[in-house]
Amino acid sequence: MKKNLILLLLSVSAINSYSQNVGIGISTPVTRLHVADSSVLFTAAAVLPASPGNPPVSGAGNRMMWYADKASFRAGNIINDSWDKDKTGNISFAAGSNTQASGITSTAFGNFAFATGDISFAAGNSVFAKAKMGTSLGTYNDITDSPNPSVESSGDRIFQVGNGSGNLSRSNALTILRNGNIGMAGVTNPAKPLSFPPTLGEKILLYPGGSGEVGIGVYGNELRLHCDNPGSMVSFGTQDNAGVFTQAGRFQISTPFALFVNGSIWANGTTYASDERFKEDITPIESALQKLLQINGVEYRMKKNEFTKNNFPDQKQIGLIAQNVEKTVPEAVNEMDGYKGVDYAKLVPLLIEAIKEQQKQIEELKAKADNKK
């Protein structure tokens, strides 16, 4: 068998010596080595040598190379020593132009892509994947990190997308650390689960509407939740597993009210804008006592089961009926969605003036009584 194989190889070589092409399974090879209709197998030792020899060729050049002592493959162009023995990782793969896969089981594709961490992956233009199990994509990623290529650390960059424009202007569009922290738009060492750069303006765009946007922004010391569409709102509440949303309240523009709350409010205090410089057409309240006498205080319970979205309380209430108040003090009654409400604070000035009127009556009666003595 061995003799027949030698004779076959000699015959093939002799047949094709005029063209210096070698054909296996074909009599008219068109390349230096032409294997027709068959797989080609390259192998390496089951246990790679502790002291591997040099690759078949070192230095610059254009080539496709199987480096058996390190079970590694290279294809493309190289102008430096990145495909030499000391910069080739065991069981690694590098292809393209001037790529380097020096980490164990690392992979590099593209132009000047470097996968130096073990089990790392680099693909793109001038990108570096330094951390163990790290991935770098894009172009000119930030390279200020110095991880241990063989040992995992919580602060390692395990995923980054470069968006730089050159070696002197490297930056990342996205950086993810092993601890789960994410840096956006140039933040390469995020200290929180999601970190943005220290710039003002919109940070998160949730919906790019045709007539306005919905998103989150930072403006000075102000955090903005903004809905730019006419009549839009920012609401808060709860949503069950079936997707039914129960609104607890909302902020809304282009309406008589900026804040709606479906439920009770607990507050330590409230202040109303009341500076005289804000006001015009100021006149005294007339017939305050007469108006109050037409308003009836009542006890009642809210129709909680009928108006579930309003989150009415269960307890018995005391208050006023809006329709009753509206007849004499319409300024204290507002309407929304067809339902009326009472601004109780607006009744305070009426009470003050009514007490004054009543006190005047008391003093007049007292004076009459004194005169009769």
- Tens of pLDDT, residues 80-135: 999 999 999 999 999 999 999 999 999 999 999 999 999 999 999 999 999 999 99
In a domain, 368, yes or no: no
> E strand or H helix at 290, and its extent?
helix 288-293
Q: Are residues 84 and 171 in the same domain?
A: yes
In a domain, 333, yes or no: yes
Q: How confident is the model at residue 200 (pLDDT cuts 50, 70, 90)?
A: confident
Q: Are residues 306 and 325 in the same domain?
A: yes
Quickly list DSSP for 303-323: -TTTSGGGT--SS-EEE--HH
Nearest-5° angle of CA 198, CA 232, CA 250?
A: 85
How far is residue 316's CA from residue 323's CA, in Å, rounded to a whole number?
Answer: 20
Q: How confident is the model at residue 8 (pLDDT cuts 50, 70, 90)?
A: low
| Whether pLDDT at 138 is above 80 | yes
Spell out the residues 6+ positions from residue 18 whose beta carbon is closer than 8 angstroms to its own.
none
How far is residue 373's CA from residue 367's CA, in Å, rounded to a whole number?
Answer: 10
| Whether pLDDT at 339 is above 60 | yes
Q: Are residues 192 and 242 in the same domain?
A: no
User: What pLDDT, on the 0 to 100 scale, is given for residue 329?
Assistant: 93
Per the prediction, the chain carries an average pLDDT of: 87
254 or 359: which carries more pLDDT confidence? Answer: 359
Range of the domain at 296: 285-353
In a domain, 64, yes or no: yes
Residue-wise pLDDT for 275-300, tens only, equals 899 999 999 999 999 999 999 999 99
Query: Mean pLDDT throughout 27-31?
Result: 88
Query: Mean pLDDT throughout 245-267?
Result: 73
User: What pLDDT, on the 0 to 100 scale, is given for residue 18?
Assistant: 44
Q: Are residues 178 and 291 in the same domain?
A: no
| Whether pLDDT at 17 is above 70 | no
In a domain, 244, yes or no: yes
Q: Are residues 63 and 194 in the same domain?
A: yes
**Torsion angle of C-alpha atoms 85, 91, 93, 98, degrees rounded to 10:** -20
In a domain, 171, yes or no: yes
| pTM attached to this predicted model | 0.70
User: Under a CB-based contact definition with an 8 Å cutoff, are residues 322 and 344 in contact?
Assistant: no
Longest Cα separation, the chain: 153
Q: Are residues 215 and 330 in the same domain?
A: no
User: What pLDDT, on the 0 to 100 scale, is given for residue 260?
Assistant: 74
How far is residue 121's CA from residue 133's CA, in Å, rounded to a whole number?
Answer: 7
Residue-wise pLDDT for 38-68, tens only, equals 888 888 888 898 899 999 999 999 999 999 9
Token digits for 94?
Answer: 């590098």
Q: Are residues 86 and 145 in the same domain?
A: yes
Residue whose token pair is 């307890």? 315
Provide the domain count of the chain: 4
Q: How confident is the model at residue 205 (pLDDT cuts 50, 70, 90)?
A: confident
Q: Are residues 193 and 119 in the same domain?
A: yes
User: What pLDDT, on the 0 to 100 scale, is given for residue 79?
Assistant: 94
Q: Are residues 66 and 176 in the same domain?
A: yes
In a domain, 224, yes or no: yes
Residue-wise pLDDT for 213-230, tens only, equals 778 888 888 877 777 776
